[in-house]
Structure 1
Amino acid sequence: MSTVATKDKGQAPDELTFEAPKAEELAALLVSKDRPPRPSALSASLTFGWRAMLKIKHVPEQLFDVTAFPIMMVLMYAYLFGGALAGSVEEYVQFLLPGILTMSIVMITMYTGVAVNTDITKGVFDRFRTLPIWRPAPMVGYLLGDVIRYLIASVVMLSVGMIIGYRPDGGVVGVAAGVALLMVFSFAFSWIWTMFGLLLRTEKSVMGVSMMVIFPLTFLSNVFVDPKTMPGWLQAFVNNSPVTHVATAVRELMAGNWPAADIGWTLGWSAVLLAVFGTVTMRLYNRK
C-alpha cells in the first residue's frame, strides 16, 4: 500500500495533493497480518505483579514498612510486655512472635489500597482498562506483588525473633506452613483495601479508613494476651475475630501442632473476604 502525491494544474509549485489509500489496500494490510495471542489470565496477572516489583526497585523507600516497621514491632512489644506478662522476654516471645507477625502483615495490607488509589488519581487505570487483558489482572497483580512484600516482612520478623530467643518447635515445616496460611489470608484480606482504593477519592482517605478498621481488629485479638483474662462480652468478640483465628493457627503450626479448626476458620474467612470484596472491587473497577 502506498500514498501517491500528485500535482494538479494551476496549483502552486509547493502544493501537493495526497490520494487516500483504497479500502481494499487497507483491508489487505490488516487481514494479512496475524494478531498477537491474547495473554492468559495468569500471564497478565504476573506481568502486573512484576510491575509492582519494579515500583519498589525504583522507590526502595517503599520497603520501610516491611523491614524497619516489623523490627520495631517485635523489639518494642517483646521488651515492653515480656517481663510483666511472662517473666522474661524469652518466654513471652514464644507466644508473641506468631501473633505480632500476623498483626504486622495484616496492618501493611492497607498499602495495597493506597497504591491503587494513587494509580487511579494519575490516570494509569484508564490505560489498563483499554488493554485486551483479563479484567481483574491489574488488581490481582497488585496483590501478588504485595505477597512478596509480606514474605519479606515475615523473614525479617522471624529473624529478629530468633535472635532474641524465639524457638519454633514445629521447625522449618511448621514455620513455612504458618507463613503460607498467613499469606493466603493476607491476599484475601487485601481485597478490602482495593475496594476502598477505588471507592475513596484520596489516598489520605484510604489510610484513614484503613486505620479505623485495622486497629480495633488487630488489637482486639489474642495477639498479645490470652483472651481468657478478658471480660466475657469481649471474649465473645475476640474469640470470633478473623485475626484471632489466623494468629492461633499460625502460632500452633509454628509450635508443631495441627489446629484443624482454626485453619478451617482462616480458610473460610479468606474465601468469604475474596468472594465479597473481590466481587465489589471488580464492579467498582468496571464502573469507575
Structure 2
Amino acid sequence: MTEFQQPVLKSSFLRESMVVFNRQLRMNLRNPAWVLIGVMQPILYLVLFGPLLEPLITQLGGNAYNWFVPGMLVQLGVFGAMFAGFSLIGEWREGVIEAERVTPASRGALLFGRLYRDLLQILVQAIILVILGLIMGMDFKPLGILVGIAITVLIGGAGAAASNAFALLVKSEDVMAPVTNMLLMPILLLSGIFLPMNFGAQWLETLADIIPTKHIVDAVRASFFGDLGFADIGWGVGWTVVLFGLAVWWGISTFRKENA
C-alpha cells in the first residue's frame, strides 16, 4: 500500500501535495549540500563581481549592492529553478512517476508537491544571499526586501513548473540540457542582471524590453531601493504572476497527459 492509498486517499489537494512534498524533502535532506551548491554561483558573483561594478553603479546613484543583489536573486530564482526538471527525469526513469500516477492523487498535487520543495529551496537561498548583501553594505529596507524575495520565489516557482513540464515531455537530459542553456543565456544577458541595459545600443535595449525577466529584475531592484509604487514594480509583478500561472497550467496539463 502506497502513501496515497491510506486515509490520505480522501484528503484535500493540500494533503496530497504535502505527501509528495515530504517525500521530496526527505530525498533532498539526505544531502544537505543542495542548498549551498545552489546558492554558490550567485554568491561568487556577488563577492567577486560586485566590488568590480561598485564604482560604476555608485555613479548612477544609490547603494551599489541594492542594485546588484536583486539581479543575483532573479538569477538564483530563474537559473536554479530551470534545472529542477532534471531530478524529475531521474524519478521517471526509476519508475517513481509511474507509481504516483496509479494513485488517486490529483495531477496538480503531484506538481505542487515538487513546487513546494523548489520554492523552499529558493527561499532559503534567497535569504542567505540577502544576508550576505547586508553584510557587504546593502541598505536595509525591510518591506522592500520582503517584496523582492516574494517576487523572486514566485518567478522561481514559474521556472520550476516549466522545467518539470518540459522534463516530462522530453524525458532526456541530453535534450533538456542544451535547450535550457540556450534559453537561459539571452535571459542572463538581456535582463540587466549585471549591467543596466541602457549602457548598450538602442536596439539592444529595445530587445531587452520584450523579455519579461527584464521587467522582473527592475521590479525586484526597485523594491530593494524602497520604491514600491505601481509604476515602479507593477510590470514586474504582473509578468511574474502571468508566467507563474502559465507555467503551472502547463505543468498540470503535462502531468495529466502522462496519466492518459
**TM-score after normalising by structure 1:** 0.79
Residue 242 of structure 2 is aligned to residue 272 of structure 1: yes
Residue 57 (structure 1) aligns with: 29
Identity %: 23
Deviates more, 1:132-141 or 1:222-231: 222-231
| Structure whose alpha-carbon radius of gyration is higher | 1
Tell me, in whole angstroms, the C-alpha distance in 2 between the residues paired with 1:264 and 1:104. 21
Deviates more, 1:135-144 or 1:255-264: 255-264
- Cα shift at 1:184: 1.7
**How far does the alpha carbon of each residue in 1:237-288 deviate from its partner, in whole angstroms, 9 at most, with x for none?**
2123221111111111121111414533234323433443333333332333
Residue 132 (structure 1) aligns with: 104
Residue 52 (structure 2) aligns with: 80
Residue 3 (structure 2) aligns with: none
Structure 1 residue runs of 5 or longer lacking an equivalent are 1-34
Give the alignment of 1:147-158 within 5 angstroms.
Answer: 147-158=119-130
Residue 95 (structure 1) aligns with: 67
The answer as to whether partners of 2:73 and 2:129 remain within 8 angstroms in 1 is yes
Tell me which of the two structures has the higher relative contact order, counting C-alpha pairs closer than 8 angstroms and 6 or more residues apart: 2
Tell me, in whole angstroms, the C-alpha distance in 2 between the residues paired with 1:206 and 1:276. 20
Tell me, in whole angstroms, the C-alpha distance in 1 between the residues paired with 2:232 and 2:179. 28
Tell me, in whole angstroms, the C-alpha distance in 2 between the residues paired with 1:145 and 1:123. 20
2:219 corresponds, among 229, 232, 249, to 249
Residue 166 (structure 2) aligns with: 196
The answer as to whether partners of 1:246 and 1:262 remain within 8 angstroms in 2 is no
Residue 122 of structure 2 is aligned to residue 122 of structure 1: no
Tell me, in whole angstroms, the C-alpha distance in 2 between the residues paired with 1:142 and 1:209. 22
Q: How many residues align?
A: 252
Structure 2 residue runs of 5 or longer lacking an equivalent are 1-6
Give the alignment of 1:40-51 within 5 angstroms.
Answer: 40-51=12-23
2:157 corresponds, among 171, 180, 187, to 187
Distance 1:203 1:61, change over 3 A: farther
Residue 4 (structure 1) aligns with: none
Residue 225 (structure 1) aligns with: 195
Distance 1:173 1:275, change over 3 A: closer
The answer as to whether partners of 1:112 and 1:143 remain within 8 angstroms in 2 is no
Tell me, in whole angstroms, the C-alpha distance in 1 between the residues paired with 2:27 and 2:231. 39
Higher helix share: 2
For the aligned residues, what is the CA RMSD? Answer: 2.4
**TM-score after normalising by structure 2:** 0.86
